[in-house]
Amino acid sequence: MKTNKSYSKRMKVTRNGKIVSRGQGQNHFNSKESRRSQMNKRRSVAVVMTQGAIRRYLPGLKVPKTALSVSAK
């Protein structure tokens, strides 16, 4: 099965196996936000995915099974 490249380029796997991505609401209309919320939006967000979703969108991704059980809780 082929990896969904547009989706996989937005994701990153940490050393511990967590899947992280950029948070939502960062593209435009940020000048009216407070500085605090602008800085908070710069953080990465942990993504909780089911095993089926990982197999479907990121089949070539090596994610430890222990990381999946921890993040799914």
Q: How many domains does the chain have?
A: 1
Residues spanned by the domain of 56: 5-71
Mean pLDDT of the chain: 81
pLDDT in tens, 20-43: 988 888 888 889 999 998 888 888
CB 49 within 8 A of CB 19: yes
CATH number at residue 51: 4.10.410
* Beta pairing class for 19-22 and 11-13: antiparallel
Tokens 């936000």, residue?
33
pLDDT of amino acid 67 = 54
Q: Which residue has the higher pLDDT, 33 or 72?
A: 33
pTM of the model: 0.62
pLDDT of amino acid 36 = 93
